[in-house]
Amino acid sequence: MAERRVLKLGDPRLHEAASAVAEVNRPELHGLVQDLWDTMRARSGAGLAAPQIGVGLRVVVFALQFNPRYPEAEPVPETVLVNPVLRPLGEAREEGWEGCLSVPYMRGLVPRYTHLRYSGTDAYGNIIEREVSGFHARVVQHECDHLDGIIYPQRIRDLSQFGFEEELSLANRYDTRPC
């Protein structure tokens, strides 16, 4: 499998709603998942959604290992999520800095639900159900937004909190990695 080109903001395909995967545990789906991992890792991302490589299917991958540069971001297990469903637990939201491989070199402050429950399957059809919070909740919301054609800048409440990484004060203004 292979690293694929990542679509960037401005490509209309990033704003299309993706279709549900009709059948799991197919060779094409496993190939797609491998390409997502290869592409995400080649760019040191924390997550990637199929529409970002031009595939309009409801598939996302994400993972975050402990990184001493981002000690506040708790590790997130390697996860493949097919046909995900998200349900916020409560109304609480918190602002956090996000990036996106489709919006290179930029970061923005985005409100996300603090706690949520999500479900779906992996690529083999095994059911995944989790209750999460913090960065794990944030990355799931960011990736699943891609499946509905939403890119994080559309969620920013105050556009003065959006800019180039090199101009933001890196040490103090964000503690997450590009999704």
Which residues would be at the binding site for Ni ion (CB under 5 A)? Answer: 100, 179
Q: Which is nearer to Ni ion, 147 or 179 (CB)?
A: 179
State the Cα–Cα distance between residues 73 and 176, nearest whole angstrom.
7
CB 150, min distance to Ni ion, A: 10
CB 117, min distance to Ni ion, A: 21
Q: Both tokens of residue 27?
A: 């060779």
**Under 8 Å between Cβ of 145 and 58:** no
CB 27, min distance to Ni ion, A: 26
**Under 8 Å between Cβ of 39 and 176:** no
Q: Write b or e for each residue in 100-116: b if 16 or more Cβ atoms lie within 10 A of its Cβ, otherwise e.
A: bbbbeebbbbbebbbbb
For the question of residue 143 being annotated catalytic, the response is: yes
DSSP state, 165? T
CB 179, min distance to Ni ion, A: 4
Q: Which is nearer to Ni ion, 3 or 24 (CB)?
A: 3
CB-based closest residue to Ni ion: 100
Q: Both tokens of residue 159?
A: 């556009």
User: Which positions ≥6 away from 156 have C-beta within 8 Å?
Assistant: 108, 109, 110, 162
Q: Which is nearer to Ni ion, 53 or 100 (CB)?
A: 100
Question: Which of the following is catalytic: 94, 95, 98, 143?
Answer: 143
Q: Which is nearer to Ni ion, 50 or 179 (CB)?
A: 179
Query: Token pair 């903001």 is at which residue?
Result: 9
Residues with a known catalytic role: 143
